[in-house]
Amino acid sequence: MKLGVNIDHIATLRNARGMNNPSLLRALKICEKSKINTITIHLREDRRHINDKDLRQLKKNSQLPINLEMALTDEMLKIAKKIKPDFICLVPEKRNEITTEGGLNLEKISKKKLNLLLTICNSNNIQLSVFINPRKKIIEIAKSLGFHAVELHTGPLDREKVNKLDIKKINEMINYSYKKKLIVNIGHGLNFSNIKYIKNRHKVDTVHIGHFIISEAIFLSLPKVIKIFKNLIKL
């Protein structure tokens, strides 16, 4: 199982101050040195964290594959065609949501736009995935539509008391997706405590984690930063 790190929330911190720090390129280099497998970024319609300039700079400077999360819109189709990320993952998007709240509804997807995106991906060796709820019917639709991979929504594991049925269901759908010969990725709400519930890891290609890694890094690094600054201000 490989690790993909979503660095959107470094941009969230940067944008809160309206300046250039913390630097996404610095974060990229740290991720490269840490030997992760993929950098994930979500270019939202409202550009609330990552923006177009960030995407261009990361694609230009990254030694790691770039996984672009995006909605299936005309604007994003043009960006995908121009940037040519290594991976694309289609996600649902609502302006009033804080984070992605569930999988994409494939029954209402625009077949015309999807076919245009598939043409872009197949012509440029881009792996196309879709973020979906872990349900058999949705996995079957994803397969029939021509997606190369699925990312199964693991949000139900991020609860104070995890339901055993959710654990069972997610693992069963990992098996089912794998059986359908789809590349299987997982993501959303995973952390140190709940990753243990993923039992069949050999069938998972990549686990994508963003918010938890970025937020936990603040606390793990805070003592070191304070120590450095205390040394700098000594009389």
Residue 42: name the closest of 120, 121, 98, 107 by CA: 98
DSSP conformation class of 107: G
User: Which residues does residue 206 pair with via DSSP β-bridges, in sequence order?
Assistant: 2, 185
- Taking the C-alpha atoms of residue 134 and residue 183, their distance in angstroms, rounded to an integer, is 14
Greatest pairwise CA separation for the chain in angstroms: 69
Crossing angle for the helix pair 24-33 and 52-61, to the nearest 10 degrees: 30
Catalytic residue among 9, 42, 148, 208: 42
CA distances from 144 to 43, 182, 186 (A): 26, 11, 20
Catalytic residue among 9, 49, 153, 188: 188
Contacts of 170 (CB under 8 A, 6+ apart): 134, 152, 154, 156, 157, 186, 197, 198
The answer to whether 69 is a known catalytic residue is yes
- Taking the C-alpha atoms of residue 151 and residue 214, their distance in angstroms, rounded to an integer, is 20
Catalytic residue among 9, 69, 148, 208: 69
CA distances from 63 to 38, 59, 94, 113, 191 (A): 9, 9, 31, 30, 26
The answer to whether 148 is a known catalytic residue is no
Q: Three-state SS for 89?
A: strand
Cβ(134)–Cβ(173) below 8 Å: yes
Which residues belong to the active site? Answer: 42, 69, 188
